[in-house]
Amino acid sequence: MNVKKYLTVLVAAAIVLPAASCAFREKTVKRSDFALNTLINITVTGKSADSAADAALAEIKRIDALMNTHSSKSALYALNCASAGERVRVSAEIFKLIKTSAQISEKTGGAFDITLKPVADLWAIGTENPRVPQSGEILGALEKTGYENMILNEEDCTVEFKKDGMQIDLGGIAKGYAANRAAEILKNAGIKSALLDLGGNVYAVGQRSDGQRWRVGLQTPWKTRGEYFKTVSVSDTSVVTSGAYERYFEDNSEIYHHILNPENGYPSKSGIQSATVICTDSALADALSTAVFVSGSEGARRIAENFDNVKIILYTDDGEILEY
């Protein structure tokens, strides 16, 4: 090789090498989308950040479609059309989520209950036409609820309702389940640093890119977004908040929010405005945040005792902060 040719090759290599090495360098990417009825924000740092973030988002969208109770193609749709005594087969994945939900119902004294859909549909909170139902309507719909009225057959993944008109809504656990799955996908892709925020349902993977623990702000109820009453430092764990201010409507100066008390079918009034649950399992944190919101401070104490490694932070009606 003459000198000129040699130099040409060197220059070409110098141009190609940095371009190729980009693929092996750590970088931070962000993704935003709308799924599971909420805004999804993902921040991922790592060599495979782009493909890992795409895969995590795709998984969240898959779960969104799976949980959709309106699509006639979804497993939940078929189940929700079933009459009493009919055994409806669902996928192993959905079955497991329903079973987990029922177990959480039992351990929270029924405060978390995925069978509230007939009552929730009356209120229609989160739709364009929410309304305050007549008390008779609520009593009628309550007749068609109760997790204890579901029969779960593990061997063939079938679900059977004991009453006509029963329906399931996994909205109280879906975001947490999706966060678990997305975090698993990121970890399997070798990602050591990521933050998944599914509308306030947060999962912190590893540490921040600067090596510090992730800091998650807890929203002050009814204040501007981003105004926090407390900040928690976490790593490889989930922080989930259920708040009255998240979804509600006003009628005659009264606020009606989306977290229902399974005992009376009305938006829960338990003396707290938000309930935050911190634990490694985001699906559990999601369901428990709803249950704690319904149960109030006394219930929160019992729930904290019933579940291992679960931390609870409440913001009361009086602005007091309680921790269990």
What is the C-alpha separation between 249 and 22, in angstroms, rounded? Answer: 49
120 binds, among Mg ion, ligand AMP, none (CB under 5 to 8 A by kind): ligand AMP
Which residues are near ligand AMP by CB under 6 A? 112-114, 116, 120, 169, 171-172, 242, 246, 258-260, 262, 286, 289-290, 294
What is the C-alpha separation between 31 and 50, in angstroms, rounded? Answer: 9
Question: Which residue matches tokens 């790593």?
Answer: 235
Instruction: Closer to ligand AMP by CB, 193 or 220: give it.
Output: 220
> What's the closest the beta carbon of residue 50 comes to ligand AMP, in angstroms?
30
118 binds, among ligand AMP, Mg ion, none (CB under 5 to 8 A by kind): none
Nearest-5° Cα angle at 159, 153 to 161? 120
Name the nearest CA neighbour of 79 among 150, 177, 173: 150
Residue 289 binds to Mg ion (criterion: CB under 5 A) = yes
Instruction: Closer to Mg ion by CB, 145 or 290: give it.
Output: 290
Instruction: Closer to ligand AMP by CB, 52 or 292: give it.
Output: 292
Residue 286 binds to Mg ion (criterion: CB under 5 A) = yes
Residue 219 binds to Mg ion (criterion: CB under 5 A) = no
Cβ atoms within 10 Å, residue 262: 22
The pair of structure tokens assigned to 309 is 């490694």
Instruction: Closer to Mg ion by CB, 268 or 290: give it.
Output: 290
What is the C-alpha separation between 192 and 201, in angstroms, rounded? Answer: 19
Contact 255, 130 (CB under 8 A): no
Q: For residue 213, what is the DSSP state?
A: P
Selected from 219, 268, 282, 290, the binder of Mg ion by CB under 5 A is 290
> What's the closest the beta carbon of residue 100 comes to ligand AMP, in angstroms?
12
Query: Hey, which residues between 158 and 177 contact Mg ion (CB under 5 A)?
Result: 172
The pair of structure tokens assigned to 153 is 């057959």
